């Protein structure tokens, strides 16, 4: 591959998930692994850790890093990653992975054979989907009781296992997944700890579906990295890229020092600055960490951040004026969910006819609008409890959204929300 092809690959590293160089989060990683170390048979059930944070905070990356570091700390431990807990089709695969990794059973031990007994003695529950195509199908949740007996047979020699579940805010949409997690959460025989990643509504959601044995200590808030961590991640990833390219003239540490501050430590922005560095080198005719390329990289990164905020805003399905109003309220005083709802209602009247019709078509109540804003990460809960005040996840996001409005619009919004936020 020519050098441009190689560099293009670096300019396209994933915006989500595992970073080139992971930094920070030591406390979170320790806590998750310690829960598994502390596991004792027959004691308190339901060890669960929840890492909550806005989109781009690094929840998926954290789950991946926990899995990567687990063997150093607990050599016989296993990790199972479950990315889509709202899709019930994955339950059989997770159960099978548990059988293999946690219980050390052969891969087909829990498979059911149509109309007969399986090798593991689990009665056949071939699903309709599988029944026609193959004679052997993976385990389904109906067989949980049967094969939890099978697991018990080998309980004395099970490998401690972390079940890493991403996007947990959507738990409950799939009933089988919820039931499986409930079963795992509610037993004291198998060494399983659930480590979940999700938006700031996750702990509340877990409560709603009956997986609520969480205390403050088991809910972790995933937020910006420190300035030093952001810089280290950039320096390391630029170094890795330089090595892969067979060397790049100049020093990556100088670039890392310049690129780190505008990220405000926000993990998504760290990645976007790294990508921008690769993009700038790709666009240049000099493969060098020099000043001209750095200026280009910074400009590209700023553009990428704007795109990111526009995508977040789009995901919120909320008019910029409404988001701006809620952000202003949050900046002015303690704003809880109900206060924010009053702000949404107050500013609704300022929208032009079309925008107002759109708003009403999407949101039946102001509460729906706040939910969607939380979902998109345009606002977040300030702490881990959903009764806590709201916050703005990344400071520069509010500045960007304010910049989309005219001065008149901003003034009108501030006048309109005055009464709603006054006490």
- Say which entry of ligand ATP, Mg ion, none residue 210 contacts (CB below 5 to 8 A, set by partner kind): none
Is residue 60 within the footprint of ligand ATP (CB under 6 A)?
Answer: yes
The contacts of residue 166 (CB under 8 Å, 6+ apart) are: 59, 60, 63, 81, 82, 83, 84, 85, 196, 197, 198
151 binds, among Mg ion, ligand ATP, none (CB under 5 to 8 A by kind): none
Of 24, 92, 172, 320, the residue at the interface with ligand ATP (CB under 6 A) is 24
Q: Which of 304, 423, 401 is nearest to 15 (CA)?
A: 304
Site string for ligand ATP, 159-188 (x = CB under 6 A): ------------------------------
Nearer Cβ to ligand ATP (151/375): 375
- Size, binding site for ligand ATP by CB under 6 A: 23
Say if residues 214 and 235 touch (Cβ distance below 8 Å): no
Q: How are beta strands 192-198 and 161-165 bridged, if at all? A: parallel
What is the spatial distance between Cα 262 and Cα 395, in angstroms, rounded to a whole number? Answer: 11
Report the relative pairing of strands 112-113 and 136-137 from DSSP bridges.
Answer: antiparallel
Q: Compute the least distance from the CB of residue 266 to ligand ATP, in Å.
A: 8
- The binder of 274, among Mg ion, ligand ATP, none, by C-beta within 5 to 8 A per type, is none
Interface of this chain with ligand ATP, residues 260 to 319, rule: CB under 6 A: 267-268, 270-271
Q: How far is the C-alpha of 218 from the C-alpha of 141, rounded, in Å? A: 27
For position 205 contacting ligand ATP by CB under 6 A, the verdict is no
The nearer residue to Mg ion, 60 or 319, going by C-beta atoms, is 60
Site string for ligand ATP, 28-57 (x = CB under 6 A): -------------------------x-xxx
Task: Convert residues 221-260 into a mask of x (bound to ligand ATP by CB under 6 A) and - (unbound).
Answer: ----x-------x---------------------------
- CB nearer to ligand ATP: give 19 or 191: 19
Query: Residue 139's binding partner, choosing from Mg ion, ligand ATP, none, with beta-carbon cut-off 5 to 8 A by kind?
Result: none
Among 16, 145, 153, 331, binds ligand ATP (CB under 6 A): 16
User: In the complex, which residue's CB is closest to ligand ATP?
Assistant: 58
Specify the residue, 138 or 267, whose C-beta has the smaller distance to ligand ATP.
Answer: 267
Closest CA to 366 of 415, 400, 417: 417
Q: Which is nearer to ligand ATP, 240 or 342 (CB)?
A: 240
In the complex with ligand ATP, the residue whose CB is nearer, 53 or 85, is 53
Task: Choose among 420, 268, 228, 257: nearest CA to 335.
Answer: 420
**Cβ neighbours for 33, distance < 8 A, ≥ 6 positions apart:** 66, 69, 70, 73, 74, 162
- CA distance linking residue 207 with residue 234, whole number of Å: 38
Enumerate binding residues for ligand ATP (CB under 6 A). Answer: 15-19, 22-25, 53, 55-61, 225, 233, 267-268, 270-271
């Amino acid at each position: 591959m020519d050098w441009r092809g190689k560099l293009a690959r670096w300019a396209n590293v994933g915006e989500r998930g595992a970073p080139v160089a992971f930094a920070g989060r030591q406390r979170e990683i320790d806590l998750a692994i310690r829960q598994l170390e502390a596991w004792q048979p027959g004691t308190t059930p339901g060890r669960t850790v929840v890492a909550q944070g806005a989109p781009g905070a690094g929840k998926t990356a954290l789950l991946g890093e926990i899995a990567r570091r687990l063997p150093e700390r607990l050599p016989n431990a296993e990790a199972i990653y479950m990315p889509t807990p709202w899709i019930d089709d994955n339950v059989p695969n997770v159960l099978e992975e548990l059988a293999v990794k946690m219980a050390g059973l052969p891969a087909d031990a829990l498979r059911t054979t149509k109309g007969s007994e399986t090798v593991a003695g689990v009665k056949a529950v071939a699903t309709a989907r599988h029944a026609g195509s193959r004679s052997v199908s993976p385990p389904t949740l109906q067989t949980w009781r049967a094969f939890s007996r099978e697991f018990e047979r080998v309980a004395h020699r099970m490998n401690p296992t972390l079940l890493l579940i991403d996007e947990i805010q959507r738990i409950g949409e799939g009933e089988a997944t919820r039931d499986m997690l409930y079963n795992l959460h509610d037993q004291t025989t198998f060494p399983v700890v659930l480590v979940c990643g999700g938006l700031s509504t996750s702990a509340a959601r877990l409560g709603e579906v009956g997986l609520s044995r969480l205390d403050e200590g088991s809910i972790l808030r995933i937020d910006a990295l420190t300035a030093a961590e952001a810089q280290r991640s950039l320096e390391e990833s630029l170094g890795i890229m330089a090595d892969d390219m067979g060397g790049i003239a100049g020093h990556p540490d100088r670039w890392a020092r310049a690129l780190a501050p505008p990220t405000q430590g926000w993990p998504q922005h760290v990645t976007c600055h790294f990508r921008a560095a690769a993009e700038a080198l790709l666009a240049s005719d000099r493969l060098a960490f020099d000043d001209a390329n750095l200026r280009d990289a910074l400009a590209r990164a700023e553009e990428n951040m704007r795109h990111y905020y526009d995508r977040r805003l789009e995901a919120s399905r909320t008019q910029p004026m409404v988001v701006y109003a809620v952000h202003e309220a949050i900046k002015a005083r303690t704003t809880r969910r109900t206060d924010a709802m009053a702000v949404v209602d107050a500013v609704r009247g300022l929208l032009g006819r079309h925008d107002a019709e759109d708003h009403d078509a999407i949101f039946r109540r102001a509460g729906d609008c706040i939910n969607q804003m939380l979902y998109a990460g345009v606002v977040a809960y300030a702490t881990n409890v959903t009764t806590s005040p709201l916050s703005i996840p990344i400071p520069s996001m509010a500045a960007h959204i304010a910049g989309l409005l005219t001065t008149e619009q901003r003034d009108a919004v501030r006048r309109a929300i005055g009464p709603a936020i006054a006490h």
